[in-house]
Amino acid sequence: MDKTILTITLNPSVDKSSSVQSVVPEKKLRCNSPIYEPGGGGVNVSRALKRLGVVSDIFFTSGGRTGRLLEKLLKGEKLNIFPSHITSETRENFIVLDISTNKQYRFGFPGEELTQEQQKEILSILPTINPCPDFVVISGSLPTNTNPNFLRRLVNIYKAMGTKVIIDTSGEALRTAVEEGVFLLKPNIGELAFLVGKEKLEETDIDQAARLIISQGKAEIVVVSLGSQGAVLFSGSEKIKIEAPVVEVKSTVGAGDSMVAGMVSVLVKGGDYKEVLSMGIACGSATTMTEGTGLFTRENAKHLFYKIWK
């Protein structure tokens, strides 16, 4: 029987991307026609899994006109959605490419705070989603002023159900969530430093920091993202480091979410950790080859995977 996956996005968005000949101050800038795409950590993980032929369910908050657009976009991609309707408007992000410099500008807006009633509703709905997931991916930021303990409660619920929890967030939400102990954690170096109480970490400090988190029972697997340099996976005494392939980078939007999706796509099939990390890096790198807010193509991801794997 296939393993089941649920992604959770508490602060989703609709990402609006466009391009302009040149970004200059004090002038009206004539943008090209915008492209609207679903956004937010778990939402993008599910969208990326679909490209890999892996089915998942998506739980996300949805409110107002933007929320309705988000639901429409996700239905258009034939994804299994479980929206939780809230009174506030789902947020938007704006991404613009300066054609003259080929530089991308990313403007992210905050999401409205989840009320106590909305949080209670979410906590009551999630355990009722059938089938009970084998893997839960909690990814993305929390809405403004939402207590980080909310994530800890989510982790607690799913651990009690025997579900493997994967976390990809930042700040206090990250620190609080891992106190319950998760299956897999994907920090970058800055987030790893934050978790171990350091201002910054050098690359030579990564091993000790990652193993400290594992020894404290905060994660079974720690995958440290090194950006264009690849990533390193730690689990028990095992350490696997893989460099990212050299590609023409057009946009980094969604690369981290795609990396998570790549790893999950192998985990659900029982693959080994080298394959897990290789597919994660392949999907993340393939996404950087796509303009705007688009995710990877399956062809690019598979090509890069075999390039890394050989």
Let me know: does 79 contact 50? Beta carbons within 8 Å.
yes
Mean pLDDT, residues 57-86: 97
Mean pLDDT, residues 118-128: 94
Residue 1: per-residue pLDDT: 63
Residue 232: per-residue pLDDT: 98
Per residue in 150-199, pLDDT tens? 999 999 999 999 999 999 999 999 999 999 999 999 999 999 999 999 98
Per residue in 210-255, pLDDT tens? 999 999 999 999 999 998 899 999 998 899 999 999 999 888 888 9
What's the rounded Cα separation, in Å, for the pair 106 and 90? 18
Q: Mean pLDDT for the chain?
A: 94
Strand 231-235 vs strand 219-225: parallel, antiparallel, or unpaired? antiparallel
Verdict on whether the full-model pTM lies above 0.85: yes
Instruction: Please write down the long-range contacts of 74-77, taking CB distance under 8 Å and 24 or more positions apart.
Output: 74/38, 74/43, 74/47, 77/38, 77/47, 77/50
- Ramachandran angles phi, psi of 102, nearest 5°: 60, 30
Confidence of residue 204 (pLDDT cuts 50, 70, 90): confident
Q: Which residues of 40-74 are buried (b: 16+ CB within 10 A; e: fewer)?
A: bbbbbbbbbbbbbebebbbbbbbbbebbebbbebb
What's the rounded Cα separation, in Å, for the pair 42 and 6? 9
Q: Which of 15, 57, 168, 257 is catalytic?
A: 257
What's the rounded Cα separation, in Å, for the pair 18 and 282? 26
Please, is 236 exposed, middle or buried when counting C-beta atoms within 10 Å of its C-beta (0-12, 13-18, 19+)? exposed
What's the rounded Cα separation, in Å, for the pair 244 and 228? 6
Question: Where exactly are the structural domains of the chain?
Answer: 41-85+131-309
For residue 12, which amino acid is it? P
| Residue 292 reports pLDDT greater than 80 | no
168 assigned to active site: no
Confidence of residue 203 (pLDDT cuts 50, 70, 90): confident
Strand 35-39 vs strand 13-20: parallel, antiparallel, or unpaired? antiparallel
Give the residue among 106, 35, 37, 91 at the shortest CA–CA distance from 61.
Answer: 91
Of the options 3.40.1260.10, 3.20.20.80, 3.40.1190.20, 1.10.287.130, the CATH number for the domain spanning 41-85+131-309: 3.40.1190.20
